[in-house]
Each structure stands twice: as structure tokens, then as C-alpha cells.
Amino acid sequence: MRILLVEDDAELAQLLALGLRNESYAVDLAGTYATADMLLRTNDFDVACFDLGLPDGDGLELVRRLGTDPELRRPVRTLILTARDAVADRVAGLDAGADDYLVKPFDFAELTARLRALARRKDMHDATLRVGDLTMDLAAHRVWRAGRELRLTARELSLLRYFMHHAGEVLSAEQLLEHVWDANADPFTTSVRVILYRLRRKLGDPLPIVTIPGAGYRLVTP
């Protein structure tokens, strides 16, 4: 899952980004309205998290524009993260188009729980993904194949999760870079192939992720 985190407090932004990356999310940071606007014009995000008090504009206005400005790529889900805790502020945020509203200060565990809830709302999955003999516990970050637990790195877990959300679909390397890696990824590297090789080796035979020549990769469904 690729997340846009719009937060003007640089220290808080770095801490949240580090925590989310450790949870196997890809995270892009924006500290200003202008930077967030630019990123939303050029990238597709699964979730965008908006602080409202930005130094060069109101984050709430940016949330509103997601529903009206054709030049912005609307994230699948939006979450407001703000210190504005009045009921009127919450109502305004949700009415502007946000899917959820979390007041600062918040516990990091609650943030990740809300992100999982937003992902379930998007894909109609519960907290456990199952494809064939693969099972993934989204909350505990654990994976089993045919009852055998696999030890995956955060990136391998994130890659497998994306495949499981899109089981049976052909996914190009560009799609995988877009949703599993963040803006720091170099599209000219072999990052996808290297991590995919490691993941396949851990999954074992028969390989559940197959290569489609000239097109990409597919997680085989039963």
C-alpha cells in the first residue's frame, strides 16, 4: 500500500514515515500544500493522510479539491490527521470527503489499525487474506503457506500483500513500483526482480507467482 503523508511537522513526519515503513507501507512525505498538490498530480496513492494546518494553505481545501479537480489523482481513501478536535471540525472534514478523522495526539497502533480498516473497506477483505494455500494476517504481519509460517521482510510482505489483493491479475513491474515502493525507489533498478526472487524462494514450489512474458507477474488463484 502506498501512502501520502501530508504533515508540516518534519520530526513527526519522519517518525510516522519510519514506523509505517517498518509496517511494510510505502510512504511519500509532503510538508506543504504545494508539495502535496504536486505529488497528487503525478502519483497514485492508496491512502492520503492530511494534516490540516499547513504553512502555505489549508489541508481541508486540498481534501475538497480531490473530489472536484480533474488534475488531481484522487487517492482510494483519505484520512485526516489533525489537532483540530471540535465536533464541527470533524463534521467539516468528513463532509469535505475524508473517509476517516483522527485527532492528535494519537497512538501509532490506532493509526495503523485505521489504515487496515480503510484497506478492508477498499477491497472488502477482513483482517485475514487467503489465496489458495496462502494466508496472511494483516494485523500481526504473519504469513503461512499450507500451514507453514514464512519469515518475510517488510518489503517482501508488502509485495505479497499487493499480489494477494490482486490475485489472478497480471501486474507489471511499473505497477508494483507504484504501489509497493515509494518515491525514493529508482525505477531503473532491478528492485522488483530482486525482491520478487527472494519472495518466490521463500514461498517454495510450486511457485504461486508466475511470470507473464512481456507483461509482468501474476499470483495464481486456485
Q: What is the DSSP string of 133-182?
A: TEEEETTTTEEEETTEEE---HHHHHHHHHHHHTTTSEE-HHHHHHHHS-
Are 27 and 183 spatial neighbours (Cβ–Cβ below 8 Å)? no
**pLDDT class of 126 with cuts at 50, 70, 90:** low
Is the pLDDT at 123 greater than 60, yes or no? no
Could you tell me if 208 and 156 lie in one domain? yes
Task: For residue 141, give its domain range.
Answer: 128-219
Could you tell me if 51 and 152 lie in one domain? no
What distance in Å separates the CA atoms of residue 152 and residue 204, rounded to the nearest whole number?
A: 13
Is the pLDDT at 150 greater than 80, yes or no? yes
What DSSP assignment string belongs to 59-96?
HHHHHHHTTT-TTS---SEEEEEES--SHHHHHHHHHT
**pLDDT class of 9 with cuts at 50, 70, 90:** very high
CATH code where residue 107 lies: 3.40.50.2300
Distance between start and end Cα atoms, the chain: 24
Could you tell me if 40 and 55 lie in one domain? yes
Could you tell me if 84 and 154 lie in one domain? no
Is the pLDDT at 24 greater than 60, yes or no? yes
Would you state the pLDDT for residue 109? 93
Would you state the pLDDT for residue 124? 43
The set of residues, in sequence order, having a beta carbon less than 8 Å from that of 18 and lying 6+ positions away, is none
Would you state the pLDDT for residue 23? 85
Supply the mean pLDDT for the chain: 89
Q: How many domains does the chain have?
A: 2
More confident residue, 137 or 92: 92
Q: Is the peptide bond before 206 cis (omega within 30 degrees of 0)?
A: yes
**pLDDT class of 181 with cuts at 50, 70, 90:** confident
Could you tell me if 12 and 110 lie in one domain? yes
Could you tell me if 60 and 107 lie in one domain? yes
Could you tell me if 105 and 136 lie in one domain? no
Would you state the pLDDT for residue 56? 95
**pLDDT class of 192 with cuts at 50, 70, 90:** confident
What distance in Å separates the CA atoms of residue 87 and residue 198, rounded to the nearest whole number?
A: 48
CATH code where residue 203 lies: 1.10.10.10
